[in-house]
Amino acid sequence: MDEIKELGASKAGSIHCLTIVGQIEGHQTLPEDAKATKYEHILPLLAAIEESPEIRGLLILLNTVGGDVEAGLAMAEMIAGMQTPTVSLVLGGGHSIGVPLAVAARCSMIAPSAAMTIHPVRLNGVVIGVPQTYNYFARIQERIVRFVTEHSRISREEYLRLMTNTDELANDVGSVLDGEEAVRLGLIDRIGGLSNALDWLHKRIES
């Protein structure tokens, strides 16, 4: 179970840290040996952070390798709807559903050596070859595209181009952006590390 951890107190209150790492486990249960963030644990933690008068800032550390789309979007919507100042910091990589999670925060940062992977929605298990299946995929993909473009500065056209790129990934469709490129394209707000993220939160709290 992921936990919130107090990092320290400012004059106005405490900053807490939430880690979202590995595969995000949702409706499909992963093997026991798979490192996973369980969204049903994260959602009540976010609600508790928002409700607590002592918690004045939230630092979200991200290092994701994909996972359940519905679970990831649920967490991203919760983060985007918070009044508590939030900053996300992508470390290592933000893969698939890690993209909407990163942009959901009030301010998004990425470490200089980190990268973000953008690709279309996938589905494991049985796929029924009927038009309804295609429509279902298209609707899920549209929800992700809309969320990302509404919570970042990247254009819809650019995001779709990156998502459907066929020239970069071997045996796959999509794109990998390093930190500087993610910032240049407007997907992430700025390059930064732990001290930068904490400084941003402290300034928001003290103001």
C-alpha dist (Å) from residue 165 to 73, 160, 171: 23, 8, 12
Which two structure tokens, joined as six digits, stand for 52? Answer: 């607590």
Q: Is 14 tagged catalytic?
A: no
Q: Is 151 tagged catalytic?
A: no
Cα angle 115, 119, 121; round to 5: 135
Nearby residues of 67 by Cβ (< 8 Å), 6 or more positions away: 22, 23, 24, 25, 26, 36, 37, 96, 97
> Of 187, 204, 46, which is closest to residue 109 (Cα–Cα)?
187
Gap between the Cα atoms of 77 and 186, Å rounded = 20
Q: Please, are residues 57 and 13 in contact by the beta-carbon 8 Å criterion?
A: yes
Q: Which of 95, 119, 151, 202 is catalytic?
A: 119
CA 206 to chain centroid, in Å, comes to 26
Q: Which amino acid is at 160?
A: L
**Bridge partners of residue 16, in order along the sequence:** 6, 58
Q: Which of 96, 108, 152, 175 is catalytic?
A: 96
End-to-end CA distance of the chain: 33
Q: Which residues participate in catalysis according to the annotation?
A: 96, 119
